[in-house]
Structure 1
Amino acid sequence: MARNKYDIDETLQTEFNFSHLKRLGAYIKPYRKELLITIFFVSISSMLGLLTPIFLMQIMDDYIPNKNIKAIILVSILQLVIFLLISVILSFKISLTSKIGQNIIHNIRSDIFEHLQALPFSYYDDKPHGKIQVRVVNYVNSLSDLLSNGIVNTITDLFSLLFIIGFMLIVNVKLTLICLLGLPLLIIIIFIIKKKQRVAWQISSNKSSNLNAYIAESINGIRVTQSFTREQENIKIFNTLSNDYRLAWIKAVKLNFLMWPAIDNISTWSYVAVYVVGISWLDNSMQGITAGVIIAMTGYIGRFWAPVNTLASFYNSILTAVSYLERIFETIDEPVLVKDCEEAIEMPAIKGEVVFKDVTFSYEDGVKILNGINFHSAIGDSVAIVGPTGAGKTTIINLISRFYNLDSGEITIDGVDISKATIKSLRKQMGIMMQDSFIFTGTIIDNIRYGNMEATDEQVIKAAKTVHAHDFIINLEDGYQTQVNERGTRLSVGQRQLISFARALVADPKILILDEATSSIDTQTEILLQEGLSKLLQNRTSFIIAHRLSTIKNCTFIMYVDGGSIKEMGSHDELLDLKGSYYELYMSQYKFLEKE
C-alpha cells in the first residue's frame, strides 16, 4: 500500500471544515467555568492597564501646568498599585491556563490512544507505526500553546480591543477613525495568505510524519542495520527526510511571519498619521487637540495594535493547529471495523468446539487469502496447520480470535457465531502466542501475568515451570522481578518465546493458539516443553502452526493449507499414507535430518 511507506506523504481522506474546531470546543467545554473566571480577571487587568494614557493626558494637560505635585504623586502611587494588581492577575492566569491546557491535551491524547486500542490489525498493517505515534505525541503537543494561552488571550484581547477603542473615542473621535483606517488593509492581507498557510502546514506535518516513521523503523531494525553495515545509507535517507521537513517548516514559518511585519508597518503608519494630523490640529481649538491628547492617543495606538497582533497570532495558531487537528480527528474517526455488533452477547464459558463454515477472507479487495475453508474440531482436539509460506495458516488462527472480519462464511465456537459475541468475552477465554514474542518494559513476572492480571505469583511460576522457563528466570539477577527492556532485548529469542508461552498458559484458556511457538527453542528444551504441554493440552482445544513436523505428529488431525484452501486433512499417519503434499513435506524434512 502506498500509505505504508516512510517516503510517501499521507493524504487526508476528508477536507477540513470548521466542525473540527467545534469538536475541539467539546474538549474545552468542561473547563468553561475556570476559563470564564480567568477571562473576567484578565479583562479587568486589561482595563486597568488602559488607564495609564488617561493618567498621562491628565498630568500633561492639568497637573504639570498647574504644578499639582501632590496629584502627580497620588497618580504615580495609584499606577504602581495597578501594576502590582495586574502582575498578580497575570500570574494567576498563567498558572490556571497552563493547567487547563495540559488537561485538555491529556484528554485528547487519551481519546486517541483509547481509539488506537480498538482499531483492527488491518489499520496497523497499512500504516508505519512512526506515523501513528507522531499523531499521539507531536501533533497533540502542537496544540498545547493554543489551548493553554491562545483561547484566553484571544477572548481577553477582543475585550481589550473594545475597551481601547472606547477610550480612544473618549479622547478624540477623529484621531480614532484615522487609526482604524489600517484595519481593512490587514484583513485583505490575512485572506491572501490564509490558504497558503494551511497548505504549508499540511506539507510540514507530512514531512514530520515521514521523518518519525523512518526513525521508528530504523530503531526497530538497528540490529539488522548494523549487521549489514547499512549505517551510512540510513544516514543519507534520514538526512534527506530531515531536510525535507526543515524546508517545509521554514516555508510554513515564513508565511506565519508575514503577519507580524504587516501589522508592524500598519501600526507605524498609524503612529505617523496621528502625529502628523494631531500636530497640524494642535493650534485649532475647534479640533480639541492638546499635547496630552496626542500622547494619550499614541499610547492607545500601541495598545490597539498589540491585541490585533495577538489576534493575528491566534489566527496563525489556528491555521497551524488545523493541519494537526485534521490528522488527530482523522485518527479518532478511523472506523473500528472489528467491533461488537449491536446485539452482541457475552461468550459463554468456552468448552472448545470450533467450526469453520465456508470461510472466505481477504486483506485487500479482490485478493482472496482464504477461499471456502471448512473444518470441525471437537472439544479437546489438537489441530495442526501446515503448509508453505503465505498459504494462509496464520490468517486462520487470527480469524478464530476475530482479529479480522470475514468476507463471508461463519466461525462458531460451541455453536455460537463469534461475530455475535463480544470481543472481550471471546478473547479473554483464549491463550494466544503469536510468531512475534513481544516483551513489554517491566518485570518478567508482570510480562507473564499480562495474559491474566488476576493470576497469583504461584500461578505465574507454575506456568513458567510448565514451559521450562523457570530455570533460566531464577538464574537472572532478580529472578522473576528482573527488569527487562522493550521487546526483551536482554533476553535471547528462545527465552522470549518461553516467557510468551507462559503468558499464554497463565490465562488457563480453553482454546490455545500457538503460532510457531517453538521455532526459536533448542531441541532439548522443546522435548521438555512437549512433555509439559501434553498434560496441559488435555481437555483443551489447541491450534498449532509449526514448521517442525516432528512436534505435531500426535495432533488429533493435521490440515495442509495451500493457496488459501485446505488441500489435505487427517492424522499424521493418514496423511503419510496419502503420499500427497504433506508426505512430500515430511519426507523432505526427514531426509534433511538424516543428512545432519
Structure 2
Amino acid sequence: MGQQGSNRQAPPNFRGPRHHFGPKRKAKNQKETILRIWNQLSKHRLKLWIVLVFVFVSTVLGLLGPYYLGVTIDSYILKKDVPGSIQMAVLLAAIYLAGSLFTWLQQDIMVRVSLTTIRTIREELFAKLQQLSLRFFDTRSQGDLMSRVTNDIDNLNNALSQSLVQIFSSVLTIAGVTIAMLSLNWMMAMVSFLIIPVMLFVSRKIIAVSSQNFAKRQADLGQLNGYIEEAISGKEVITLYGQEKKTIQEFHEINEELRKSAMLAETFSGFLGPVNNFINNLGFGLIIATGAILTLNDMASIGVIAAFVTYSKLFFRPINQLTNLWNTIQSAIAGAERVFEVMDEVPDLQDSPNAAPVVSFEGDIEFRNVSFGYEKDHQILKNISLKASPGETIALVGPTGSGKTTIINLLSRFYDRSSGELFIDDKPIEAYKMADLRKRIGIVLQETYLFSGTLMENIRYGRLDATDEEVIEAAKIAAAHQFIKHLPERYETKITSGGTNLSQGQRQLLAIARAILADSDILILDEATSSIDTRTEIAIQEGLKNLTKGKTTFVIAHRLKTIEKADRIYVIDHGQIRESGTHDELLASEGFYYQLYTQQFKQTV
C-alpha cells in the first residue's frame, strides 16, 4: 500500500506504507504516566481507602505473629509451660488466619477496582480512536493500534490488580518491621539495616537497564502484531505472487527482534531475584552472628533472636517483592504511555464552535480554488474549482492518481483542504457538524467493507431504525435481492468480517443497498459498479436512477460509458481540471476526454 507515482491517492481505508510502525523508544516521562494512572484509580477513592485499611490490618497482624512467637519461646516454651504454649499457639493460629482473610479481601476489592479502571481506559481509548481523523491512521499500523488496545492495557491491568496492593503492603510492612526491630534490639536492627543500601544500589542499576528494554519490547510487540495483521489480511496477494518465503523471512526477522528485546528485558530483570537472595542470606548470617554474640553477653534472648530472624524475613521479603515486581511495573508503564499517547492525540478535524446541525441538504456544492496534499510538501489537488447544482449528476474522470478520490474525501470532510473554499448550500463546509454532514452524504466505495453479522444487519447499517421490509426493498432496488434469495438463510446468512465469504461483486451490491437505505441528500459513487458484471450492472442502473433522483450525485468512473448521461463531466489530470462539459460537448472538443473515450471504445471493440 505504498505510494505509487507522483500523485498518491489516500482512500478512506488507507493505512499507510507497509511495515511502517514508527520509531522504537523508551518511556518519555514515567512520573507523568504514573500520575495519570493514579488519577484514573482515584475515581474509586472509597474502595481504595477500604483496601488501605485492610492492608494496614493484615500488616499489623503479620507483625504480631513474630512478636508473639518470641514471647511464646521465652515465656512459655523455655519455661516448659505446656498450657500457656497451647494458648499462644491458638492465638498465633487466629492471628495468621485473620491475616489471610484480610489479605484475600484486599486482593478481591483491588481486582474489582482494577478491572473497572481498565474498562474505563479501554472505552476511552476506543472512543478516541473513533474520534480521530483518517490522517491519524494513514501512517499507523492497525496491528500496532490493536496491540495498544489489548496487550498494553492488559499489562496495565496486571500491574494494578497484582502490584498496587503489594506496594502498599510492602511499604507498611517495612515501616512496621523497622519499628518492631528497633524496639526489640536496636543493635541487631542496625546490623539488619546495613544490607539495605547495598540492595537498593544493585536493584537501581539493574532496573535502569531493564526499563529501557521493557519499553522496546512493547514497541517490538506492536510491530509484530502489525505484521501478522497485514500477512493475514493480505494472504490472497501473498499466495498469488508466491511470496510465502519472503513473508516468513520478514516475520522471522521481526519475531527475532522481539525475542532479543524480550530476552534483554527478562535477563536483566531476572538478575534481581538471585542477587537480592544472596544479599538477604548475607543479611541473615550477619543477624544470627550478631545475635549469638549479644546472647553470649546477656544482651539478647533466644526468643528475641527467633523473632529477629522472622522479622528480617518480613523485612527483606517486601523489598524483594518490590524489585521483582518491577518487571510487571515497567511493562505496565511502557504500555500505559503508549495508550495515553493515543488518548492525547488531538483530532486535526474538529467541529467549529458555531457548527450547526444538519437536517437536510439542498445539494448545492461548490469548490473554489481548492488545493490539498496528504503531505505538506506534495500537493495532490491544485486550484480545483467546480460546481454542482441540486439534483445534478457530476462525473469525475481521469487517470489513476489524478485526484478524483481526493475530491470526494474533501467533500466528505475526511480531510480539510490546504487552501481555497468549499461550500455546501452556500455555506462553508466547516459551518456544519461533521457527524450530521456525513449522515447526509451517502458513499459507495470501490472497496467496500462489510462487518461480521448477517446480511440484514449489514444493509441496515445505512439506517439503523429501518424495518426488515425497508431493508429488503433497498436490496431489491440494488439488485442484491437476486442473489440473497438463493442463499440457504437468505437475509439471515452470516458473513465474516470484511465479507470474505462473498464475492467482490456481491459485497458491492450490498454496499449499494446500504446507501439506498440511508436515503442521503448527496450521493457519492466511487467506481460503485466496477466489480459487477455487465448483465448485473444493466439491472442495477434502473435502481441507481431511483437512488440518484433528486440528489446531487458525484460519480467516479473509469468506464466512461456509464457516465454519458451525467449533467457535467470534469476531467481531472495531475490534480487539475483539464476540461469540463457534457459528454457530447467533450467529444466534440476532441480533447483529453475524447482521447480517453476513444481509447476505451477501441479496447472494447
1:9 and 1:128 mapped to 2: Cα distance? 9
Which of the numbers 560, 563, 566 marks the counterpart of 1:552? 563
Match of 2:284 among 271, 275, 285: 271
Instruction: For 1:25 and 1:152, locate their aligned partners in 2 and report how far apart those are by CA, in whole Å.
Output: 13
Q: Confirm whether residue 419 of structure 1 aligns to residue 452 of structure 2.
A: no
Q: Which residue of 2 aligns with 1:371?
A: 382
Q: Secondary structure at the match of 1:520?
A: coil
User: What pairs up with 1:44-193 in 2 under 5 angstroms?
Assistant: 44-193=57-206
Distance 2:305 2:17 in 1: 64
SS of match in other structure, 1:95 = helix
Indicate if the aligned counterparts of 2:363 and 2:551 stay in contact, CA closer than 8 A: yes
Aligned to 1:517: 528
Cα 1:421/1:9, change in 2 over 3 Å: closer
Q: 2:373 aligns with which of 362, 379, 382?
A: 362
Worse overlay, 318-327 or 373-382: 318-327
Q: Secondary structure at the match of 1:568?
A: strand
Corresponding position of 2:28? 15
Does the 8 Å contact 2:65/2:95 carry over to 1?
no
Q: Deviations over 1:451-484 (max 9, x none)?
A: 2111121221111111100121121121111110
Note the residue ranges of structure 2 that are not aligned, 5 or more in a row: 4-15
Distance 2:341 2:18 in 1: 18
Cα distance in structure 1, aligned partners of 2:424 and 2:73 = 91
Indicate the residue corresponding to 1:381 in structure 2: 392
TM-score by length of 2: 0.95
- 1-side partners of 2:200 and 2:17: how far apart? 41
Shift of 1:360: 0.7
Q: Quote the Cα distance in structure 1 between the aligned partners of 2:437 and 2:26.
A: 33
The residue number in structure 1 matching 2:47 is: 34
Matched-pair contact (CA < 8 Å) for 1:388–1:562: yes
Aligned counterparts of 1:319 and 1:376: Cα–Cα separation in 2 = 57
User: What displacement does 1:157 show?
Assistant: 1.6
Provide the C-alpha distance between the structure 2 equivalents of 1:28 and 1:557, rounded to a whole number of angstroms: 59
Residue deviations 1:358-380, cap 9 Å, x none?
11100001100001111110000
> Which residues of 2 match residues 170-569 of structure 1 at below 5 A?
170-285=183-298, 287=299, 289-569=300-580
Tell me the amino acid that sits aligned with residue 290 of structure 1.
S
Superposed CA deviations along residues 325-367 of structure 1, whole A, max 9, x for unmatched, are: 2211111122201111222222352111111111110000110
Mapped to 1, the partners of 2:501 and 2:18 lie a distance apart of 30
* Cα distance, 1:9 vs structure 2: 5.3
Change (3 A) 1:425 1:250: same
User: Aligned to 2:88, what secondary structure does the other structure show?
Assistant: helix
Native 8 Å contact 2:26 2:216 kept in 1: no
Deviations 1:40-96 (A, max 9, x none): 112212211222222221222121232211111111112222232223223323322
SS at match of 1:517: coil
Deviations 1:151-172 (A, max 9, x none): 1221122111111112112221
Q: C-alpha distance in 1, partners of 2:79/2:211? A: 58
Q: 1:180 to 1:422 in 2, by over 3 A?
A: same
Residue pairs, 1:576-595, within 5 angstroms = 576-594=587-605
Between 480-489 and 316-325, report the one with greater CA deviation.
316-325
> Structure 1 residues 247-256 or 326-335, which shifts more?
326-335
Contact 1:104–1:147 under 8 Å retained in 2:
no
Tell me how many residue pairs correspond in the alignment: 592
What is the alpha-carbon distance in structure 2 between the residues aligned to residue 567 and residue 11 of structure 1? 45
Identity between Structure 1 and Structure 2 (%): 35
Over residues 293-345 of structure 1, what are the superposed CA-to-partner deviations in whole Å (9 max), with x where a residue is unaligned? 11110100001011112222344433332222221111112220111122222
Uncovered stretches (5+) of structure 1, i.e. residues with no partner = none
Distance 1:588 1:156 in 2: 79
Residues 20 and 268 of structure 1, relative CA distance in 2, 3 Å threshold = same
TM-score (norm 1): 0.96
Amino acid aligned to 2:28: E
- Higher alpha-carbon deviation: 418-427 or 46-55: 46-55
1:170 is aligned with what amino acid? S
- Please provide the CA RMSD for this pair: 1.7
Query: In structure 2, the residue corresponding to 1:359 is in which secondary structure?
Result: strand
2 CA distance for matches of 1:345 and 1:307?
Answer: 59
2:43 counterpart of 1:43: no
Distance 1:283 1:83, change over 3 A: same
